[in-house]
């Protein structure tokens, strides 16, 4: 039954069938005939399809092109020209092609002609050369690092070494000085022998990176003999800063320097990158690598010539000369070494010697000689119990050491930033413990196990664990609860302490921690002040704040607080990947996004981050190493900051935290060893804390307003009763010097940065409440001393302090940049919150409870003098039964304390302690 088949095909005109016709109208007539024929064939096919006399087969589109028999043979055939007979005249081909139907630009009747520009004789670096030879702007002098006549006729090069104008135009005066200083050291122009490296010890924010890139780019292009002084350079930096160095180099010099950056690379990529860098005639001049990666592959750099210049960023990582990283870098055959560190003096002079000896080996002798000749006399001379002869010897040795190291160490403080940054105020806020914290503190320090360990002085690891437990207790009792439940080494001393916690904190059925519907905040004095501070900032200003802690558990509490109060927040800790860190920073600094809180681990993210999106920063707990706190505090007062900056240091009154901070001040005093003014300052401040006092860490001065202030024997302040009744009394204690607490009239010039005038307390300050000049960070005696928070030149802290704040030190730092004042045109309503996706309405069930938390006058308080509080007698207090400590709500219009009703909701549970192997606490790392 097979019937006649008709093939369905498209009929197209042959492009070569009309070669004999040269007129366009003839082509149009042929096209119309072909169209009619095609329409007839289509109608025939449709009729045949309806009758069922046709079979449809699928064929490729334009099958004559895509379906080719013997394709290989056809592909070998020569190209078929448009005309079989060819064209003797090129104009004939152009005329022929122009007649065809092309898509041409509108308004044109000819095809667009594209010029050919890829000529091989055109140089690719024309634009670069022009840009590099641009003249400096008016008023900026060229930076000449070396003139030929300085070395006489010894050098054949008659061309001076000059920094490229591309970079000179961006250098500030102190940065020009820094580039010249580093060049003199690494090029051997320093008069003393044995100096081929240097330490740039500028404070954070002074542009150490730009100065280093300027010197690096200059040495890669110029030298004494006309050839580049440096052919290969290695930059070693913490892992989190590898990509930052890469972007900075590209930002300042573009692609003029070929580099290899090894960040988050696989092992094969690392090996390939290093091999590409060290191979002969490699185009790569700079290698950026982390400390860990260099240590693992240090054997690849044993060949001579693999490195001519070594730059170590955050070089305080080299403070221990016994580490594998230090040894691997010290074995590198490179004499020119530049160390960058804003905190070269961290804990003691022995660590400082390790950095100096790495930079210029043998310049101060060996370690034993340095310890005997320098370190011991200087430390003894700084003790409060030192004799006159010991102090004199210590001062002489300190001056001698300062004279030697200052030949290759350059340190400038961030006071130079005052011309480019807004004013800053640093506030040390002393917060008393809550009754629950005080009871747990006393129970711990008087436990048998703790006394045994302290008396016998065995196993330093146990002592460190106990110190960590006390520091965590100062942050919040919830951290101790987690310690007890987990059975960690710090549990010893907290046996049977769960009964001290209020029953409102636990679920009635399971007994699990719930947080008491948000009232867990009130169990810590510091946390209570912080919660009010955040509420005031969010409601009254558009400021953003950075919260810094040494413990990831404390960051968990911050995150829980932000979730309960509906505050937008970002978090960066040790678990944050390197690639994600910069995204978090960019999001926080973006003013178009509604970010409010940035949670930061001091050890994981305290170095190198630029968080200028926030102008307030809280150091929630002190670190034994002052460098960690200084690095974290410098994240917001940096180039690009436009607002007034507020730095808060929270300390728990009378506890181990005050002793840690005193130790920080003692270490900061050692900075004077590497500063020139040490020679002229014979009254340098010694240790505020003697060696014997440092051993007395496990004591609790619960009736003290500030143990630090009491140890100063300050003659500027009068004693105040613990209830604060005599704060406003006027007593002149030094009539000759004019020091006292009389109310004085202060000119605007005395209000550094205008903080007091901004908050309205300018004319209420007493003499002890205003600072003396511009004191250093370690000179707390010259700071402003405030027994009452009402005199603190910070309106937000005044409204947030409450009864928990017992004493405040303030230090105002001037800034020439006129600040942008923090304002909010429309205060946020209590019933809404600002999230990432906009303003959302709270659920009705939460409006009442959250209203009480966000408005400061209604924030619940734990009264320290209430009858419901515990007996704080440390030696013989009887342990209370579970539930003895009760939460009370303070009515703003009366002093009647009403016990609160326990309310538990699953959404307000505190985070449980991390049990995964990846979660490592940040203590003592």
| Alpha helix ranges (H) inside 779-831 | 795-800
CA distance 884 to 167: 68
91 and 142 fall within a common domain: no
CA distance 496 to 925: 30
Check residue 595 and give its pLDDT: 93
Check residue 800 and give its pLDDT: 93
Token pair belonging to 224: 């004494």
CA distance 471 to 178: 40
**Per-residue pLDDT at 911 exceeds 80:** no
Residue 886 pLDDT level (bands cut at 50, 70, 90):
very low
Token pair belonging to 696: 């007395």
Query: Do the Cβ atoms of 364 and 386 come closer than 8 Å?
Result: no
DSSP structure string for 341-353? -S-S--S-HHHHH
168 and 36 fall within a common domain: no
Give the tens place of pLDDT for each residue, 92-110.
767 666 654 444 444 444 4
pTM here is: 0.67
**Per-residue pLDDT at 707 exceeds 70:** yes
177 and 221 fall within a common domain: yes
**Per-residue pLDDT at 265 exceeds 70:** yes
Hey, how many other C-beta atoms are within 10 angstroms of the C-beta on 506? 21
Distance of CA 218 to the CA centre of its chain: 29
In a domain, 44, yes or no: yes
**Per-residue pLDDT at 888 exceeds 60:** no
Hey, how many other C-beta atoms are within 10 angstroms of the C-beta on 644? 22
180 and 294 fall within a common domain: yes
88 and 146 fall within a common domain: no
Reported residue count of the chain is 925
| For the ranges 41-50, 441-450, 744-753, 883-892, the one whose mean pLDDT is highest | 441-450
CA distance 584 to 136: 37
Check residue 189 and give its pLDDT: 87
Beta pairing class for 233-237 and 197-200: unpaired
Check residue 861 and give its pLDDT: 38
In a domain, 326, yes or no: yes
The three-state secondary structure class of 471 is: helix
Query: Do the Cβ atoms of 232 and 308 come closer than 8 Å?
Result: yes
**Per-residue pLDDT at 380 exceeds 60:** yes
CA distance 564 to 920: 25
The three-state secondary structure class of 289 is: strand
* 423: CB partners within 8 A, 6+ apart: 644, 645, 752, 753, 754, 755, 812, 813, 814, 815, 819
In a domain, 447, yes or no: no
> What is the SS3 assignment for 619-652?
ECCCCCCHHHHHHHHCCCCCCCCCCCEEEEEEEE
Q: Domain tally for the chain?
A: 2
The domain boundary residue, chosen from 363, 388, 423: 363
Q: Cα-flanking dihedrals φ and ψ of residue 363, to 5°?
A: -65, -30
In a domain, 308, yes or no: yes
Query: Do the Cβ atoms of 263 and 578 come closer than 8 Å?
Result: yes
* 781: CB partners within 8 A, 6+ apart: 712, 714, 716, 775
Check residue 67 and give its pLDDT: 55
96 and 165 fall within a common domain: no
> What is the SS3 assignment for 665-687?
HHHHHHHHHHCHHHCCCCCCCCC
Give the tens place of pLDDT for each residue, 113-123.
444 444 334 34
166 and 110 fall within a common domain: no
Q: Cα-flanking dihedrals φ and ψ of residue 639, to 5°?
A: -55, 130
**Per-residue pLDDT at 34 exceeds 80:** no
DSSP structure string for 145-160? EE-GGGGTTS-S--S-
Q: Cα-flanking dihedrals φ and ψ of residue 645, to 5°?
A: -110, 135
CA distance 792 to 761: 8
Give the tens place of pLDDT for each residue, 716-773.
886 544 444 444 443 333 333 343 444 334 445 568 888 888 888 888 888 888 888 8
CA distance 569 to 594: 9
CA distance 804 to 807: 9
Residue 68 pLDDT level (bands cut at 50, 70, 90):
low
Check residue 348 and give its pLDDT: 77
CA distance 303 to 100: 68
Residue 26 pLDDT level (bands cut at 50, 70, 90):
low
**Per-residue pLDDT at 50 exceeds 90:** no
The domain boundary residue, chosen from 345, 363, 381: 363
Least confident of 38-52, 428-442, 609-623, 805-819: 38-52
CA distance 460 to 466: 10
CA distance 378 to 776: 21
184 and 52 fall within a common domain: no
The three-state secondary structure class of 402 is: helix
Rounded mean pLDDT of 577-601?
A: 90
Check residue 288 and give its pLDDT: 95
**Per-residue pLDDT at 372 exceeds 70:** yes
Token pair belonging to 195: 């100096």
The three-state secondary structure class of 208 is: helix
Query: Do the Cβ atoms of 792 and 727 come closer than 8 Å?
Result: no
Higher pLDDT, 194 or 248: 248
The three-state secondary structure class of 340 is: strand
- CA distances (Å), origin 270, targets 236, 294, 297, 334, 343: 14, 10, 9, 21, 30
In a domain, 202, yes or no: yes
**Per-residue pLDDT at 391 exceeds 80:** yes
Check residue 211 and give its pLDDT: 95
Strand partners, 807: 430
Task: Establish how many alpha carbons lie within 13 A of residue 659's alpha carbon, considering only the half-sphere containing its beta carbon.
Answer: 19
Rounded mean pLDDT of 342-352?
A: 78
CA distance 262 to 253: 19
95 and 21 fall within a common domain: yes
CA quadruple 280, 283, 285, 288: dihedral positive or negative? negative
Work out the angle at residue 320's Cα, subtended by the Cα atoms of residues 316 and 322, and round it to the nearest 5 degrees.
Answer: 145
**Per-residue pLDDT at 621 exceeds 80:** yes
Hey, how many other C-beta atoms are within 10 angstroms of the C-beta on 290? 21
Strand partners, 841: 832
Least confident of 206-210, 313-317, 340-344, 822-826: 822-826
Rounded mean pLDDT of 489-510?
A: 69
Token pair belonging to 203: 């404070």
Largest CA distance in the chain: 131
Give the tens place of pLDDT for each residue, 435-493.
999 999 888 888 887 777 666 655 566 777 888 888 999 999 988 887 777 666 556 67
103 and 251 fall within a common domain: no
**Per-residue pLDDT at 364 exceeds 80:** yes
Rounded mean pLDDT of 516-543?
A: 91
Radius of gyration, CA atoms only, the chain: 37
Which structural domain, as residue segments, surrounds residue 93? 1-114
Token pair belonging to 545: 């704040």
* 440: CB partners within 8 A, 6+ apart: 473, 477, 480, 494, 497, 500
Strand partners, 426: 647, 811
At 181, which CATH number? 3.40.50.10810
Query: Do the Cβ atoms of 644 and 697 come closer than 8 Å?
Result: no
Q: Cα-flanking dihedrals φ and ψ of residue 585, to 5°?
A: -65, -45
- CA distances (Å), origin 302, targets 268, 286, 298, 874: 20, 17, 7, 62
Strand partners, 385: none
Strand partners, 162: 144
Least confident of 538-552, 659-673, 679-693: 679-693
In a domain, 267, yes or no: yes
Token pair belonging to 687: 């240790």
Check residue 902 and give its pLDDT: 40
Average pLDDT, the chain: 74
CA distance 326 to 435: 47
Token pair belonging to 451: 């006394």
Least confident of 106-110, 209-213, 386-390, 470-474: 106-110
Higher pLDDT, 734 or 402: 402
Check residue 460 and give its pLDDT: 64
The domain boundary residue, chosen from 308, 341, 363: 363
In a domain, 761, yes or no: no
Hey, how many other C-beta atoms are within 10 angstroms of the C-beta on 362? 8
CA distance 388 to 409: 30
Higher pLDDT, 447 or 811: 811
Least confident of 221-230, 607-616, 714-723: 714-723
Q: Cα-flanking dihedrals φ and ψ of residue 79, to 5°?
A: -65, 135
Give the tens place of pLDDT for each residue, 281-314.
899 999 999 999 999 999 999 887 889 999 999 8
**Per-residue pLDDT at 693 exceeds 60:** no
In a domain, 867, yes or no: no
CB-neighbour burial class of residue 493 (10 A; exposed 0-12, middle 13-18, buried 19+)? buried
Rounded mean pLDDT of 659-685?
A: 62
**Per-residue pLDDT at 90 exceeds 80:** no
209 and 329 fall within a common domain: yes
Check residue 86 and give its pLDDT: 64
Check residue 873 and give its pLDDT: 35
* 782: CB partners within 8 A, 6+ apart: 771, 772, 773, 775
* 427: CB partners within 8 A, 6+ apart: 646, 647, 648, 649, 792, 794, 797, 808, 809, 810
Work out the angle at residue 664's Cα, subtended by the Cα atoms of residues 660 and 668, and round it to the nearest 5 degrees.
Answer: 170
275 and 238 fall within a common domain: yes
Q: Cα-flanking dihedrals φ and ψ of residue 811, to 5°?
A: -140, 115
Hey, how many other C-beta atoms are within 10 angstroms of the C-beta on 913? 17
């Amino acid at each position: 039954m097979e019937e006649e088949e008709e093939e369905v095909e498209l009929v197209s005109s042959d492009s070569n069938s009309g070669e004999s016709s040269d007129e366009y109208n003839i082509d149009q007539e042929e096209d119309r005939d072909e169209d009619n024929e095609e329409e007839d064939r289509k109608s025939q096919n449709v009729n045949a399809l309806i009758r069922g006399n046709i079979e449809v087969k699928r064929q490729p589109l334009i099958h004559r092109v895509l379906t080719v028999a013997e394709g290989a043979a056809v592909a070998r055939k020569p190209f078929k020209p448009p005309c079989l007979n060819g064209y003797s005249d090129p104009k004939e081909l152009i005329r022929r092609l122009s007649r065809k139907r092309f898509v041409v630009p509108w308004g044109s009747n000819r095809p667009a002609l594209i010029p050919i520009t890829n000529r091989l004789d055109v140089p690719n670096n024309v634009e670069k050369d022009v840009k590099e030879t641009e003249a400096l702007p008016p008023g900026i002098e060229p930076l000449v690092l070396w003139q030929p006549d300085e070395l006489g006729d010894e050098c054949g090069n008659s061309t001076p070494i000059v920094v490229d104008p591309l970079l000179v135009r961006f250098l500030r005066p102190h940065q020009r000085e820094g580039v010249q200083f580093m060049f003199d050291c690494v090029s051997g122009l320093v008069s003393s022998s044995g100096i081929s490296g240097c330490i740039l010890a500028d404070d954070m924010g002074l542009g150490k990176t730009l100065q280093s890139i300027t010197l690096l780019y200059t040495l890669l292009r110029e030298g004494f003999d006309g050839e580049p002084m440096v052919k290969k350079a290695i930059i070693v930096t913490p892992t989190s800063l590898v990509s930052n160095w890469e972007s900075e180099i590209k930002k300042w010099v573009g692609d003029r320097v070929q580099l290899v950056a090894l960040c988050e690379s696989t092992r094969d990529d690392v090996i390939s990158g290093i091999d590409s860098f060290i191979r002969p005639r490699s185009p790569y001049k700079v290698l950026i690598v982390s400390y860990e990666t260099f240590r693992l592959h240090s054997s690849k750099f044993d060949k001579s010539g693999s490195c001519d210049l070594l730059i170590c960023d955050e070089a305080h990582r080299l403070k221990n000369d016994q580490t594998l990283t230090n040894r691997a870098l010290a074995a590198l055959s490179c004499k020119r070494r530049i160390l960058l560190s804003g905190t070269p003096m961290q804990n003691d002079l022995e660590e400082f010697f390790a950095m100096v000896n790495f930079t210029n080996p043998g310049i101060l002798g060996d370690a034993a000689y340095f310890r005997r000749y320098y370190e011991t006399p200087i430390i003894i001379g700084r003790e409060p119990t030192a004799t006159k002869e010991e102090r004199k010897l210590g001062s002489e040795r300190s001056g001698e050491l300062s004279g030697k190291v200052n030949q290759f160490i350059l340190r400038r403080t961030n006071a130079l930033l005052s011309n480019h940054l807004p004013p800053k105020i640093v506030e040390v806020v002393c917060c008393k413990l809550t009754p629950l914290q005080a009871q747990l503190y006393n129970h711990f320090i008087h436990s048998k196990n703790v006394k045994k360990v302290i008396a016998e002085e065995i196993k330093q690891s146990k002592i460190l664990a106990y110190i960590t437990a006390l520091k965590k207790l100062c942050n919040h009792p919830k951290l101790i609860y987690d310690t007890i439940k987990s059975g960690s080494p710090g549990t010893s001393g907290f046996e049977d302490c769960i009964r001290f916690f209020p029953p409102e904190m636990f679920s009635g059925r399971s007994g699990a921690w719930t947080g008491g519907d948000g009232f867990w905040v009130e169990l810590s004095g510091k946390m209570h002040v912080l919660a009010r501070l955040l509420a005031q900032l969010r409601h009254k200003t558009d400021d953003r704040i950075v919260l810094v802690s040494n413990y990831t558990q404390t960051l968990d509490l911050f995150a829980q607080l932000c979730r309960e109060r509906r505050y937008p927040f970002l978090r960066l800790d040790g678990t944050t990947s390197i690639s994600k860190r910069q995204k978090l920073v960019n999001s926080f600094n973006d003013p178009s996004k509604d970010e409010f809180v940035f949670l930061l681990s001091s050890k994981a993210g305290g170095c190198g981050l630029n968080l200028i999106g926030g102008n307030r920063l809280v150091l929630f707990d002190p670190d034994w190493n002052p460098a960690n706190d200084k690095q974290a505090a410098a994240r917001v007062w940096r180039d690009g900051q436009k607002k007034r900056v507020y730095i808060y240091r929270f300390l728990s009154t009378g506890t181990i935290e005050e002793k840690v901070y005193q130790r920080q001040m003692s270490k900061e005093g050692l900075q004077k060893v590497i500063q020139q003014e040490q020679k002229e300052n014979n009254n340098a401040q010694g240790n505020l804390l003697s060696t014997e006092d440092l051993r007395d860490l496990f004591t609790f001065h619960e009736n003290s307003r500030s143990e630090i202030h009491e140890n100063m024997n300050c003659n500027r302040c009068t004693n105040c009763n613990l209830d604060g009744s005599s704060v406003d009394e006027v007593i002149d204690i030094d009539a000759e010097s004019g020091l006292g607490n009389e109310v004085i009239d202060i000119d605007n010039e005395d209000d550094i940065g205008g903080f007091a005038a901004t908050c309205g307390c300018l004319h209420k300050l007493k003499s002890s409440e205003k600072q003396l000049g511009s004191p250093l960070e370690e000179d707390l005696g010259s700071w402003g001393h405030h027994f009452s928070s009402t005199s603190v030149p910070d309106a937000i802290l005044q409204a947030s302090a409450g009864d928990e704040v017992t004493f405040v030190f303030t230090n105002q730092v001037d800034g020439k940049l006129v600040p942008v004042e923090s304002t909010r045109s429309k205060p946020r309503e209590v019933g809404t919150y600002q999230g990432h996706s906009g303003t959302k309405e709270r659920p009705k069930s939460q409006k009442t409870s959250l209203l009480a938390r966000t408005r400061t006058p209604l924030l619940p308080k734990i009264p320290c003098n209430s009858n419901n509080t515990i007996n704080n007698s440390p030696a013989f207090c009887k342990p209370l039964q579970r539930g003895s400590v009760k939460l009370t709500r303070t009515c703003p219009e009366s002093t009647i304390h009403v016990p609160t009703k326990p309310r538990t909701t699953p959404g307000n549970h505190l985070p449980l302690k991390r049990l995964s192997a990846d979660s490592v606490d940040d203590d003592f790392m």
